[in-house]
DNA sequence: CAACACCGACCGACCGGACGGTCGTGTCGT
DNA sequence: ACGACACGACCGTCCGGTCGGTCGGTGTTG
C-alpha cells in the first residue's frame, strides 16, 4: 500500500533527478546521497519521501510503462491503421528520450533489479505492451498489409530499431524524434535495397 | 589430483565464467567471491590471476571487439558484396550470443565502467567498427545499391535490430542465429510492407 | 640421490571504505 | 501542539582488494 499522492511535486522531482543520474553515471554508481543532493536535500530527508532506492526504480519503470501502454491502447481503440500505429509507437519510444531523459535506460537495463511481486507485475506490463505490438503485426500480415513469416522475430526487429536509440540519441541534436521515427519506420516498412538484384547470390553458407 | 588448467586457460575460464555471471545476475550483483567460486578457487587466488574486477570487464570487451573487427575487416579486404557483408555482420553479432554468452551485455551495458586511457581506447575500437559499417552503407548508397538519405541513422537502425537481440535471444531456441540474421537482413533490405498503399496517408502530424 | 632453493598456484584472515538505511531531534506553518 | 519537512550522526553490511603464509612440483648442486 502506498501513501496517497501527496508530495507529488517533490516525488516527480526526485524521480526525474534520479533517472537523469542513473542514466549519466549508472544506477550503482549513484548513491542516495547523490540523488538527495541533486534535489537539494539531505539523505534522511530523501528517505522521508521515498521508501528505498528500489522504489525509485519502480516509479521510473511504472511511469514509463503506463505512459506507453496508455498511448498504444488508445490508438488501438481508435482503430488507426496498423502501419500508422507502428509509426507512432516508434515515435512514442523515441519521444521519451526527450520527455523523460534517463528513464529508458533504467527501464531496459535495471528492470531486473525489481524484486518479488512488484517485479513480476512490472515485467508483465512490458510483456503486455510487446504482445500488443506483436498482434498488430500478425493481424497486418493476415490482412495482407505486411509480409511476415515470423511475427515474434519481426516484433523484435521493430523494437530493436527504436529501443536501441537510448544508446546513442541525445536530445538537442539536429534531428527531432519525429523525424527519426519516420525514418526508421520507412526502413522497417520498405527496406533500403533499391532492387531485388542487390539481394541475390549471397544467401547461402553463413557458417564459415 | 585433477590437473589444474594453466596460464591462459585459467584466464579464459575466468573471463567466460565472469561474463556468464555478469549476464545472469548483473555486474554489480556479482562479487569477486562469486567469480572465484564459479572457477573453483578462492578470492585471493582469483587475484593471483587478475588485477582487478575492472580488468575482467576490459578483457571481455577487448575479446569481443577484436573478434568482431577482425571478421569485418577481413570481409572488407576480401571485397565481398556490400549487402553480403551486412548480412554477415548481423550474423557475427547474433552468433556471439552463442559463442560468448554474456559478453554482449557487458559490452553494451558496462563499457562505461572502464576508466581512463583504457576506456578511451576501448571506445575508439567500437567507434571504428561502427564507422566501417557506416561507410559500407554510404558507399552502397553512392553505388546505387541502397536507398539511404542519412547513413548515420541507417547505421543505427541496422545495429539496433541485431544488437538488441542480447535482450531476448537465448541459445538453444528453435531458431539458429544464422536464420535470425537472414531474417533481420531481409527486413533491413526489403521491409515488411506488401505494397506502397500501406504507407500512404499517415505521414503527417506526429506531434499529437 | 639427498639437500636445498625457487616458484607458481593456492588460501584464511583481515582491512578500509562506501553505501543503503535509521534514529533522535529540531523547526517550521497552521 | 501537531504533522510535515528537514538534518547530523550513526549503524551494519557488503565487497574490492591485500597480507602473510602453505603446499607441491621442478630444477640445481654436491
The total of other beta-carbon atoms located within 10 Å of residue A110's CB is 19
Q: Kindly determine whether the C-beta of residue B100 is less than 7 Å away from any atom of nucleic acid strand C.
A: no
- The whole-angstrom separation of Cα A137 and Cα A13 is 37
Residue with cell 531523459: A101
Contact A146/B187, CB-based, under 8 Å? no
Residue A93: pLDDT above 50? yes
The pLDDT value given to residue A203: 52
Residue B2: pLDDT above 50? no
Alpha helices in A78-115 (DSSP H): 82-99, 103-109
The pLDDT value given to residue A3: 35
**CATH number given to B1-50:** 1.10.10.60
The pLDDT value given to residue B7: 45
Residue of A57, A157, A175, A205 to mutate, interface with B, max B Cβ within 10 Å: A157
The pLDDT value given to residue B6: 38
The answer as to CATH 2.40.50.100 being correct for domain A52-190 is no
Alpha helices in chain A (DSSP H): 8-25, 32-39, 43-49, 53-77, 82-99, 103-109, 116-142, 151-163, 177-190
| More confident of the two residues B147 and A1 | B147
DSSP E strands, B6-92: none
Residue with cell 541496422: B158
The pLDDT value given to residue A4: 36
Contacts of A71 (CB under 8 A, 6+ apart): A88, A92
Buried b (16+ CB within 10 A) or exposed e, A176-188: bbbebbbbbbbbb
Chain A residues with CB under 8 Å of B201 CB are 81, 84
Chain B closest-CA separation from residue A161 CA (Å): 4
Residue A201: pLDDT above 80? no
What phi, psi does B109 have (nearest 5°)?
-100, -15
Contact A191/B190, CB-based, under 8 Å? yes
Give, in order, the Cα–Cα distances in Å from A66 to each of A59, A62, A69, A89, B25. 11, 6, 5, 14, 26
Class of the CATH domain delimited by B52-191: mainly alpha
| Positions 54-93 in B, CB within 7 angstroms of strand D | 54
Chain B residues with CB under 8 Å of A181 CB are 206
Chain B residues with CB under 8 Å of A206 CB are 87-88, 91, 178, 181-182
Residue B130: pLDDT above 80? yes
Tell me the domain boundaries of chain B. Answer: 1-50, 52-191
Instruction: Write the pLDDT tens digit of every residue in B69-121.
Output: 999 999 999 999 999 999 999 999 999 999 999 999 999 999 988 988 889 99
Which residue pairs, CB below 8 angstroms and at least 24 apart, start in A110-117? A110/A22, A110/A27, A110/A57, A111/A57, A111/A61, A112/B26, A113/A27, A113/A54, A113/A57, A113/B26, A114/A54, A114/A57, A114/A58, A114/A61, A115/A54
Q: Kindly determine whether the C-beta of residue A31 is less than 7 Å away from any atom of nucleic acid strand C.
A: yes
Chain B closest-CA separation from residue A41 CA (Å): 27
For A147-163, give the secondary structure using H, E and C. Answer: CCCCHHHHHHHHHHHHH
Residue A44: pLDDT above 50? yes
Residue with cell 526527450: A98
Chain B residues with CB under 8 Å of A149 CB are 183
Q: Which of A39-53, A191-205, B47-61 has the lowest mean pLDDT?
A: A191-205
The pLDDT value given to residue B195: 80
- The whole-angstrom separation of Cα A10 and Cα A13 is 5
- The whole-angstrom separation of Cα B182 and Cα B188 is 10
Quick one: which residue's CA is nearest to C23's C1'? A44
Torsion angle of alpha carbons B159, B162, B163, B169, nearest 10°? 170
- The whole-angstrom separation of Cα A49 and Cα A75 is 35
The pLDDT value given to residue A28: 96
Buried b (16+ CB within 10 A) or exposed e, B131-142: ebbbebbbebbe
Chain B closest-CA separation from residue A3 CA (Å): 30
Amino acid at each position: 500500500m502506498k501513501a496517497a499522492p501527496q508530495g507529488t511535486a517533490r516525488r516527480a522531482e526526485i524521480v526525474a533527478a534520479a533517472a537523469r543520474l542513473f542514466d549519466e553515471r549508472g544506477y550503482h554508481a549513484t548513491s542516495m546521497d547523490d540523488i538527495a543532493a541533486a534535489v537539494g536535500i539531505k539523505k534522511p530527508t530523501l528517505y522521508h519521501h521515498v521508501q528505498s532506492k528500489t522504489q525509485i526504480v519502480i516509479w521510473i519503470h511504472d511511469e514509463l510503462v503506463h505512459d506507453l501502454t496508455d498511448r498504444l491502447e488508445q490508438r488501438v481503440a481508435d482503430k488507426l491503421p496498423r502501419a500508422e500505429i507502428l509509426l507512432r509507437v516508434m515515435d512514442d519510444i523515441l519521444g521519451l528520450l526527450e520527455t523523460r531523459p534517463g528513464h529508458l535506460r533504467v527501464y531496459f537495463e535495471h528492470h531486473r533489479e525489481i524484486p518479488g511481486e512488484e517485479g513480476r507485475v512490472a515485467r508483465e506490463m512490458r510483456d503486455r505492451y510487446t504482445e500488443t505490438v506483436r498482434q498488430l503485426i500478425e493481424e497486418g500480415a493476415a490482412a495482407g498489409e505486411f509480409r511476415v513469416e515470423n511475427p515474434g522475430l519481426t516484433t523484435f526487429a521493430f523494437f530493436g530499431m527504436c529501443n536501441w536509440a537510448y544508446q546513442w540519441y541525445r536530445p538537442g541534436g539536429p534531428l527531432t524524434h519525429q523525424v527519426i521515427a519516420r525514418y526508421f519506420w520507412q526502413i522497417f516498412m520498405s527496406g533500403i535495397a533499391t532492387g531485388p538484384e542487390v539481394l541475390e547470390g549471397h544467401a547461402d553458407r553463413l557458417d564459415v
